[in-house]
Structure 1
């Protein structure tokens, strides 16, 4: 590492044996001997997108009243600690998701585009909002964007009413013909963030060479810490402690799988057996990616559409997808809503971590915008109106919170996408079927 004029470059990395660790934003990264050096480090803006599959029970999702949030709905109750950073939006729609399928729900969520009806490789959709953002925001980061999911197996062929599985497998599309595969394996995400990659054999060899990423970088870390002020030393120390903790959890998961008496063909080594543990680990990796400024754009799919995962850890043994075809049976609706609330609680815990992570004159949450929601409204009828949508974060001071906005008329979800791009500093005149920006989201 080269440090000149007592200022650390924003893109400074600790490197060693095929691994690297990006540093969080530090006051020492401001130019030395200038007025800026006396001000808090300037934050960057981030955009994240979390997909909840198969809609939800909207009565349990929708907060009471409109305007300032005074009470959260049952499904959103776990978000109470970060309520001042929330905007819930009702009556948004995805017209291009019709004729009402699981494939088009997933495909249209970030593209707002109509998927070509095909079972073959001539699929066609549209560039998604995250990739529009990454084209500009990703110029200054190691990774232009990061695509993550919770499902380790990706099916091929046709998955839903004649639509190719590619539409359900991928949230992010770099172009109408280029879907970007998402990674569900925590170790591979970790290696992508902090390692040089290579083949699976190369990665295994690298793992054998090093007991811990930070042990390899010990001398570099010590040298860096000696050049920093007290506050920056604490900030770097906390960040590296988190890196080590995430690495420890990955190694623990790998050891548990290695010690299992029977092979698990559906779960590669290193993936926690518990859905909640797996999701929390994937969210923690997002925190590291954002804090280290490895990327500023992230997408995360909590489960694929038509997922038959059972959530026995919360007392729901029924497969998720059949529960969404509940026929208005109150017991089935209640169990589906329990899954909805569980997914939200994992997101809420992630937001609390962002809020507790200092950066500049605020927190990571203050300087981020995350869109959470689904491309389907009522799963019992497969509609794409009144979507469950919320936006969390402060967007570097650009986004007010603690509000419920209900549009008088059905409004394109693309209007929100266009607005989020603007909040992140990406100016675009139109996106997909947008008819303007969401003025209510911009006003304080």
Structure 2
């Protein structure tokens, strides 16, 4: 039974501190210096594995250009964006023990597992700290079956701000819309937003007062919950202060929110909210968990009756079910690219300063050793990454080396990411970023 104390703990942790919200107010758009650009990054994690045969063009064994090469059917929606695509095969994550899922270990580059707390910050959170600061530095959204998204509208399995500090992802578009755009809404959404805001204000005040009478050991733990409510309330106030700007970007609320026919209606609404958070400048780091980092997931809206764990036991190459799922993913990627490309920024567009990282929290397949962890990059992050090519690695460098490359491209020198020298001696054949991917 969920008692009052546990309920408040879940709310504060799931919606405040666990989101990695800043403790101090940040401007909507940070003003980069003359030598920097407002870079942004998106991680798209599909569960159940990413078989290389579904993304590597047939017969392609060695690194080469993608010019004149037809992409495999599962990723065919990316054909118009081939010049911006970089397919990487041959990274590994054996040390992350992906099996059913590496959970936090997929983006952390360390050992993960079901019920295993994060042992360090994940790459998406670390990048959100070094990229130009925004109102909400890091936003996570998760897609699953309607039943799972309704029963658990927030869930933490992929991202973390530190050891034992998971970051929750939003799975109910109604809640996410209310958080981002409740202050500029009307009708029921506005009334719910105001009621929730008043409740959180009162809870913060009450919690702060009551916490002073606790023993010192409990007071510190309790303070984390109080800070969670402070962060929620602070974010709400900051969003309200730029309401005129946000009106230009808020998606239209339609029947997909309140009366979804399929879970894909919510998936599409969540994606639109994530894109709007990027284009409006609310955030510059977006993590999307299709399947939410677990072994479940459903796509009935694509005409797929099978769902959950069984999908992971199906061979992906030439499987019409997985072709539909992967193509759906790629259409989502294309929508992100088109949306960012439509907004001028500097001498180009927002997409010119953006990188999309697409992979799986399961490496290549369900029940994997992690010996091969395919990745697709889209965009060049302000000319930081090579594009229009395929790179075949020898399987001796870990996913950590890619994450070190991301940090380097973001302006932070990084020889190893979340990997000790001792661990690197066993799992990494070199040191530093991947020279094969950096421009």
If the length of structure 1 is used for normalisation, what is the TM-score?
A: 0.68
Query: Is the alpha carbon distance of 1:354 and 1:330 closer, same or farther for their aligned partners in structure 2, counting shifts above 3 Å?
Result: closer
Q: How big is each residue's C-alpha offset from its partner over 1:88-130, in whole Å with a ceiling of 9 and x where there is no partner?
A: 10011112222x4224x23221001113x785xx834221011
Given candidates 171, 177, 190, the residue that maps to 2:164 is 177
Q: How big is each residue's C-alpha offset from its partner over 1:127-181, in whole Å with a ceiling of 9 and x where there is no partner?
A: 101121223326x31112112111474799xxxxxxxxx9x84211111211111
What SS class does the counterpart of residue 373 from structure 1 fall into?
A: strand
Partner of 2:14: none
Partner of 1:147: 140
Given that residues 57 and 336 in structure 1 are in contact (C-alpha distance below 8 angstroms), is that contact kept between their aligned partners in structure 2?
no
Partner of 1:193: 180
C-alpha distance in 1 between matches for 2:397 and 2:262: 38
Given candidates 108, 123, 136, the residue that maps to 2:105 is 108
Gaps of 5+ in 2: 1-26, 198-239, 420-427
Within 5 Å, give how 1:321-332 maps onto structure 2.
Answer: 321-326=309-314
Query: Is the alpha carbon distance of 1:154 and 1:292 closer, same or farther for their aligned partners in structure 2, counting shifts above 3 Å?
Result: closer
Given that residues 105 and 111 in structure 2 are in contact (C-alpha distance below 8 angstroms), is that contact kept between their aligned partners in structure 1?
yes
Q: How big is each residue's C-alpha offset from its partner over 1:193-236, in whole Å with a ceiling of 9 and x where there is no partner?
A: 34579xx9986153999xxxxxxx9x995xxxxxxxxxxxxxx8
Partner of 1:8: none
C-alpha distance in 1 between matches for 2:287 and 2:320: 28
Given that residues 91 and 407 in structure 1 are in contact (C-alpha distance below 8 angstroms), is that contact kept between their aligned partners in structure 2?
yes
Q: How big is each residue's C-alpha offset from its partner over 1:24-70, in whole Å with a ceiling of 9 and x where there is no partner?
A: 79xxx899xxxx9xxxx974011221101011343222124332113
Query: Is the alpha carbon distance of 1:386 and 1:330 closer, same or farther for their aligned partners in structure 2, counting shifts above 3 Å?
Result: closer
Query: Is the alpha carbon distance of 1:280 and 1:208 closer, same or farther for their aligned partners in structure 2, counting shifts above 3 Å?
Result: same
Query: Is the alpha carbon distance of 1:24 and 1:281 closer, same or farther for their aligned partners in structure 2, counting shifts above 3 Å?
Result: farther
Is 1:338 the counterpart of 2:341 in the alignment? no
What SS class does the counterpart of residue 408 from structure 2 fall into?
A: helix
- Superposed displacement of residue 241, structure 1: 4.5
C-alpha distance in 1 between matches for 2:432 and 2:121: 18
C-alpha distance in 1 between matches for 2:279 and 2:351: 10
Query: Is the alpha carbon distance of 1:440 and 1:273 closer, same or farther for their aligned partners in structure 2, counting shifts above 3 Å?
Result: same
C-alpha distance in 2 between matches for 1:49 and 1:220: 27
C-alpha distance in 2 between matches for 1:177 and 1:339: 32
Query: Is the alpha carbon distance of 1:141 and 1:290 closer, same or farther for their aligned partners in structure 2, counting shifts above 3 Å?
Result: same
Partner of 2:281: 293
Given that residues 324 and 336 in structure 1 are in contact (C-alpha distance below 8 angstroms), is that contact kept between their aligned partners in structure 2?
no
- Superposed displacement of residue 390, structure 1: 0.7
If the length of structure 2 is used for normalisation, what is the TM-score?
A: 0.69
Partner of 2:79: 80
C-alpha distance in 2 between matches for 1:47 and 1:205: 29
Query: Is the alpha carbon distance of 1:310 and 1:186 closer, same or farther for their aligned partners in structure 2, counting shifts above 3 Å?
Result: closer
- Superposed displacement of residue 382, structure 1: 2.2
Within 5 Å, give how 1:181-330 maps onto structure 2.
Answer: 181-195=168-182, 204=192, 206=194, 240-243=247-250, 246=251, 248-249=252-253, 251-254=254-257, 256-257=258-259, 272-326=260-314
Is 1:406 the counterpart of 2:392 in the alignment? yes
C-alpha distance in 1 between matches for 2:291 and 2:243: 39
Within 5 Å, give how 1:354-433 maps onto structure 2.
Answer: 354-379=340-365, 381-433=367-419
Given that residues 112 and 414 in structure 1 are in contact (C-alpha distance below 8 angstroms), is that contact kept between their aligned partners in structure 2?
yes
C-alpha distance in 2 between matches for 1:79 and 1:118: 33
Gaps of 5+ in 1: 1-21, 157-165, 210-216, 222-235, 258-271
Given that residues 156 and 167 in structure 2 are in contact (C-alpha distance below 8 angstroms), is that contact kept between their aligned partners in structure 1?
no
- Superposed displacement of residue 240, structure 1: 4.6
C-alpha distance in 1 between matches for 2:293 and 2:280: 31
Aligned length: 353
Query: Is the alpha carbon distance of 1:378 and 1:390 closer, same or farther for their aligned partners in structure 2, counting shifts above 3 Å?
Result: closer
Given that residues 133 and 426 in structure 1 are in contact (C-alpha distance below 8 angstroms), is that contact kept between their aligned partners in structure 2?
no
Partner of 1:3: none
C-alpha distance in 2 between matches for 1:101 and 1:72: 28
**Structure with the larger helix share:** 2
Cα RMSD, aligned residues only: 4.0
